Amino acid sequence: MRPALATILASLVLVRSASAQPAAAPLTEPAQASSQVDTTSYRGYTLAADGLSIAVLFAAYASTRSDGSDSQATVPLLLLGIEGGFWLTPGIHSLRGHKWRAVGSSILRQVTMTAGAIIAIETKTCDTATLVCGGDRFGLGVAGGVAVASLIDAVFMTDETNPRATTWTPMLAPRQGGGTVGLAVSF
């Protein structure tokens, strides 16, 4: 019983002597939040998805025969590249919870891919006897449209703000005959 009583008395003496001393400055200062939100970007994902679509469209162009006719791989690659250009990046926006960005990105792609295809087809010089002219350049025009849409999308639609998480900082302030241990939290 005497060791327990001695321990209690020693604890009371230490608490009393620590409370009698003036408070010392803490060794660490609490972390101060510079703003209440963090800004992140997911443009790397959208650029990679669009780059993949553009690569598939170039592969479709490269798969044509030397006489300009389509090989067996040209049309499937062209369709895969077009579908990837239309849906991959809007899908990324949607998965990240930005439904209106997904809608805007989809409309942007429809406009730029169509404009790119029209420009590519119409800028080819052909005979007047040819009924359809410039069709071999369709995939390149669509790839140009995807590239333009990708750049606009990456610059204007991929930043998102997230509320700053709760931060905490441990504190230790030595005192004569004891110390103070604490935790500072900002939320």
Contact predicate 139/81, CB 8 Å = yes
pLDDT at 183: 74
pLDDT at 154: 94
Instruction: Name the token pair of 144.
Output: 């140009």
In the predicted model, residues of the chain with pLDDT beneath 50 are 1, 14-15, 18-19, 33
Using a cut of 0.75, tell me whether the model's pTM lies above it: no
CA distance 171 to 120: 66
pLDDT at 26: 53
CA distance 136 to 53: 18
